[in-house]
Amino acid sequence: MAYLDGCVIAVPTANKQKFMEHAKAVDALFLEFGANRVVECWGDDVQPGKQTDFLRAVQATDQETVVFSWIEWPDKATRDAGMEKMMNDPRMSPEVNPMPFDGKRMIFGGFVPVLELGS
């Protein structure tokens, strides 16, 4: 069964190009280590909510854009092995590939699909 990792981050809007370059490099590693697909989504219509919202979840400022991303893996075992390889790969070193956003405000987790409709 497929397995998904999802994350939400706040990226300085001025760093969009740096983010895209970073994402291309990192996402290629996810694919190299077994992911089926990686999707990066730049916030376009992210509204403040009454109780909570994406903006508050990552403490986004007016100068930041919320990014929603997910990685699709064939199964959890492949994901676990791939994530271990990612954490040990020197290409992930902050000195080699610095994050163009505040990683401390990243929200992420792994998910088991329970319903899928459509193609």
Distance CA(61)–CA(107), nearest Å, equals 16
Model pTM? 0.92
Q: Each residue of 7-62: pLDDT tens digit?
A: 999 999 999 999 999 999 999 999 999 999 999 999 999 999 999 999 999 999 99
Strand order in the sheet with 37-42: 37-42, 64-73, 3-12, 107-111
Distance CA(107)–CA(84), nearest Å, equals 19
Give 44's contacts (C-beta < 8 A, 6+ positions apart).
none
Query: Going from the N-terminus, what domains does the chain have, and what CATH number goes with each?
Result: 14-66+75-111 (3.30.70.100)
